[in-house]
Structure 1
Amino acid sequence: MYPEKINIAIVDDHTLFRQGLASLLNDSDKINVLFDAENGQDMIKKISQNPLPEVILMDITMPLMDGYESTKWIKQHHPEIKVLALSMFEEDKPIIAMLKSGAGGYMLKQSKAADLIEAITGIAQQSFYINELVSGKLLRNIQNNQPLKTQQVEINANELKFLELCCSDLTYKQIADIMNLSPHTIDNYREALFQKFDTKSRTGLVIAALKQDLIKI
């Protein structure tokens, strides 16, 4: 456990949200908010004016410099800072894109305060935070830029097309319609690929495929 408070920063373009969150977290005996910023450009300016935070809570959709670019900047200039994505989006594509940019975890804005504090503590201690949105083993693989420990899987043309469509926000039924296949066949593809990639989630499946350069997003 951390003997002292964890220093963090909040980057979000909604003023009332970030200031309210800062006030809420500062009331905790575990968190100290060093500063808040309204976008990536504001973040870069304030990082130069304040002590470095251990963790940055990063929104995705922001003007001037969004969460993806801001996270990439952090990982390039201050790799010791951990980034916890905090967003309204629970679709697979933004989660995967933030992980690829360098975030060590992903939380929804509607999460409970206690869960968010737990996530901040976890990412500060371990450099990553896993929950139902993010697979632990695959997150470590993508953050450490390590190859998957599973064998290179053999993918046929239909499975590859299925993986590519999994990167979208389409439902499995919509994917079945596009591929002109029955939902039952799509279910079989999904379950077979889950087994091949040793994962149980759509997000984990896509991250595994990205790590083996089978698909691009």
Structure 2
Amino acid sequence: METQKIKIALVDDHTLFRSGLANLLSEFEELEITFEATNGIDLQSKIKLHEDVQVILMDINMPVMDGFSTTKWIKENYPKSYILALSMFEDEKSIINMIKAGANGYLLKQSKPREVLTAIKQIIEKGFYVNELVTGRLLVSVKNENPSCSITERELTFLQHCSTELTYKEIAALMNVSPRTVDNYRESLFAKLNLKSRTGLVVYGIKNDLIKI
């Protein structure tokens, strides 16, 4: 019995990269590339013909309509489609903004094809993909409805501020505490949740409804 293929779409304004990725991914029999688009506006016209697309590989920086706006639009109009954000750099600000917009995962463009396949499969299976920026334990934490660890009210406030563009120093000023205290909040949350980045904290907060977007 033939396994159902995962239907994917590629959205990137760089034709060479997009075509190259399409060729590499077409080597995997588990995947079927339903369409390619150059930006969000292009995607809006094409997805109407392919409403069953399951995973959309989305570039963040695109002209006309960027990854943030496109992700929000997809989540409003095609909520069943998963979004895997693609970026050239490990830019925490962009990653956090994409996750807040509704992206289900993040991957560097330098990733190997096999890693892209793994990410796509994990999104289909678990609804989210986390790469080396956050630990694999995050998925366990996200699914745990009753975390054994206790987050204090001050740590919760700090967690909320983490989803903004404020620096840690600015967060400290806003909370009327020293930068050292904010560092303690961060390290405490890293230890409690077994995470290692600000992105990880924001992902956890959003998935557990601790952060209001």
8 Å Cα contact 2:142-2:204 kept in structure 1: no
Deviations 1:70-113 (A, max 9, x none): 11111111111111111123122221211121111111111111
Tell me by how many angstroms 1:60 deviates: 0.8
Aligned position for 1:78: 78
Deviates more, 1:79-88 or 1:37-46: 79-88
Tell me by how many angstroms 1:10 deviates: 0.2
Secondary structure in structure 2 of the residue aligned to 1:155: helix
Deviates more, 1:10-19 or 1:46-55: 46-55
CA distance in 1, matches of 2:114, 2:28: 9
Aligned position for 1:133: 133
8 Å Cα contact 2:158-2:185 kept in structure 1: no
Aligned position for 1:191: 187
CA distance in 2, matches of 1:75, 1:148: 27
Tell me by how many angstroms 1:64 deviates: 1.6
Q: Taking structure 1 as reference, are residues 90 and 140 closer, same or farther at Cα in structure 2, changes over 3 Å only?
A: farther
Aligned position for 2:200: 204
8 Å Cα contact 1:106-1:133 kept in structure 2: no
CA distance in 2, matches of 1:127, 1:209: 16
1:79-158, aligned counterparts within 5 Å? 79-134=79-134, 135-137=138-140, 149=147, 151=150, 153-155=152-154
TM-score (ref. length: structure 1): 0.75
8 Å Cα contact 2:162-2:202 kept in structure 1: no
Aligned length: 201
Structure 2 regions of 5+ residues with no counterpart?
none
Paired amino acid for 1:212 = L
Paired amino acid for 2:31 = I
Aligned position for 1:144: none
Aligned position for 1:56: 56
Q: Taking structure 1 as reference, are residues 154 and 109 closer, same or farther at Cα in structure 2, changes over 3 Å only?
A: same
CA distance in 1, matches of 2:50, 2:188: 50
TM-score (ref. length: structure 2): 0.76
CA distance in 1, matches of 2:87, 2:142: 18
Tell me by how many angstroms 1:199 deviates: 3.9
CA distance in 2, matches of 1:199, 1:124: 24
CA distance in 1, matches of 2:132, 2:97: 17
Q: Taking structure 1 as reference, are residues 4 and 111 closer, same or farther at Cα in structure 2, changes over 3 Å only?
A: same
Q: Taking structure 1 as reference, are residues 206 and 118 closer, same or farther at Cα in structure 2, changes over 3 Å only?
A: closer
Tell me by how many angstroms 1:42 deviates: 0.2
Deviations 1:13-56 (A, max 9, x none): 11111111111111222211111001111001011133521110
CA distance in 1, matches of 2:77, 2:20: 28
**Is the counterpart of residue 6 in structure 1 residue 6 in structure 2?**
yes
1:29-44, aligned counterparts within 5 Å? 29-44=29-44
Structure 1 regions of 5+ residues with no counterpart?
142-146
Secondary structure in structure 2 of the residue aligned to 1:90: coil
Percent identical residues: 44
8 Å Cα contact 1:199-1:205 kept in structure 2: no
Tell me by how many angstroms 1:169 deviates: 8.8
Tell me by how many angstroms 1:121 deviates: 1.4
